[in-house]
Amino acid sequence: MVISMKFHVTANCAIQVKSDTHMPGAVRNCVEWFDLKVRSDHDSGEDQRRVCALKEFIDEDDIKAAFDERFGGHRKCDLSTLLWYSRKIFMEQGVSQRQQTIVYLTNDTNPFEENWATQIEGYFTRMKKGVSSFRHQKGKRTSGEFSVVLLRKEEDDDDEAYEKDTRVWRQLDPNIGASKSIEDLETQMFQKTFSLRAFSNIAFELGPGVKFSVSVYALAAEARPPPKEYLEYETENPVEKRQVWVPHDVRCVSGDLISR
């Protein structure tokens, strides 16, 4: 799922499906299944058709069987390819974005190679480089954040098992979240994608007729400060620096002739 904040909101869900190609990182391993844009054409009914198509899976008694029948099954892919595809969606918006958030929902404890920790140029290494590049976008004030939510069974309450299941993902998201219910998932998604807003408002009454509304916020990463520049004292406009060539003999402000 891909979320962009401020002027435009985009949600994108990519599903890994079975493919005939065996090339690592092939884009055909992923399909853009659900794409919701604020500035879409609601009159055409395209949004409604996508929602209805997704609802067909929810209404099925066996979602996995319905998915396998339609797409031919699941298959792992190079997640760095999916990450760059998500960043491409951000760039195609063409609007100013203060915050870009990519949230990866999965129940796979290790989508990479078994020896992921020792691979120099493996899937995990490429993914880690991509996440680092997304979080530290050079020359931009946009704050990028990559988060992972691990879907676990309700009976998985063992702390040791949790540490084992999240070992790989903690390398990419130290604050990885784990969800066992849809209510918990909704809360985590709200916290991760709308961190610039208040989580809750608490009414506080100081005395008769004196009430306050206390908000609980989560602070996002601070934007990079603007570059230093010289300003004019009166207008506060940036001072333009120019290099010009003058004749050999020029007059100064007082009118005296200066030879160079």
Q: What is the pLDDT of residues 96-153, one digit of tens each?
A: 677 788 888 888 888 887 777 777 777 888 888 888 888 887 767 777 888 888 888 7
Residue 221 C-beta-side C-alpha neighbours within 13 Å:
16
Instruction: For residue 217, count CB atoms less than 10 angstroms from its CB and return exposed for 0-12, middle for 13-18, buried for 19 or more.
Output: exposed
37 membership: H or E segment, kind and range: strand 30-37
CB-based contact 173:188 (threshold 8 Å): no
- The DSSP letter of residue 181 is S
166-188 pLDDT, tens digit per residue, is 888 888 888 887 877 777 777 77
How many Cβ atoms sit within 10 Å of the Cβ of residue 216?
9
pLDDT at 89 exceeding the cut of 50: yes
Structure tokens at 125: 């290494």
Q: What pLDDT is recorded for position 63?
A: 74
* CA dist., res. 200 & res. 220, Å (int): 16
Structural domains in the chain, sorted by start? 2-195 (3.40.50.410)
- The closest alpha carbon to 188, from 103, 115, 114, 123, belongs to 103
Look up residue 76 and give its two tokens. Answer: 């792992």
